[in-house]
Structure 1
Amino acid sequence: MATITVRYFAAAAEAAGRDQEQLTVDGPDAVSTVGALRAELLGRYGEPMAKVLKSGSFLVDGTVSRDDARPLGATVDILPPFAGG
């Protein structure tokens, strides 16, 4: 069974109640794309995570992705929106 590491930062960590977790990326309950991960996180963590994901970012193996069809890599960082310039 393959897994990915999902790391949460700042408001995302607060919404998830943790700094990171492991998710499966194969089998019948697979989370294998950015869109599937978004849906999984919304289902797990509800409105607090929805607020983060509304304007936050997914960093897939170091590259920002807003494409829901993008396959996941070994590590996905969930970043809240950042203020400033």
Structure 2
Amino acid sequence: MAPQSLEPMTLLVRYFAAARAAAGVEEEKVKLPEGATVADAARVLRELHPEKLPRILDAASFLLNEVAVRDQTRALSDGAQLDVLPPFAGG
């Protein structure tokens, strides 16, 4: 069995609409431990932007590498892209 890397993985997070306004950036790179999940990433994002983003994240949808995430226990991989999509009004 090969030893696990102690290096953190990097996740590119892109924010859209109200999530972008709440985070104050369009995108950012976030370091996470190997084996982190979408839920872990959301927890880190709440800590990075505690004033406005947590409320948005509670209702947001996520795309992982452009595929909708239904299960937030889904594991992330180094270099993955996570899009944060707040609920959109329309009609």
TM-score range, shorter chain: 0.7 to 0.9
1:47 Cα deviation from its structure 2 partner: 4.1
State the structure with more CA Rg. Answer: 2
CA contact (8 A) 1:6 1:77 kept: yes
Number of paired residues?
82
Tell me the residue number matched to 1:21.
28
Match of 1:6 in 2: 13
Aligned-pair identity in percent equals 40
Instruction: Give unpaired runs (5+ residues) of structure 1.
Output: none
Residues 31 and 8 of structure 1: CA distance in aligned 2, closer, same or farther (over 3 Å):
farther
Q: 2:49 aligns with which of 42, 45, 53?
A: 45
Counterpart in 1 of 2:74? 70
Kindly state the Cα deviation for residue 76 of structure 1 after the two structures are TM-superposed: 0.5
Q: Secondary structure at the match of 2:30?
A: strand
Per the normalisation by structure 2, the TM-score is 0.77
- If the length of structure 1 is used for normalisation, what is the TM-score? 0.81
Contact in 2 for aligned 1:13/1:19 (Cα 8 Å): yes
The one-letter code matched in structure 2 to 1:83 is: A
Structure 1 runs (4+) deviating above 3 angstroms are none
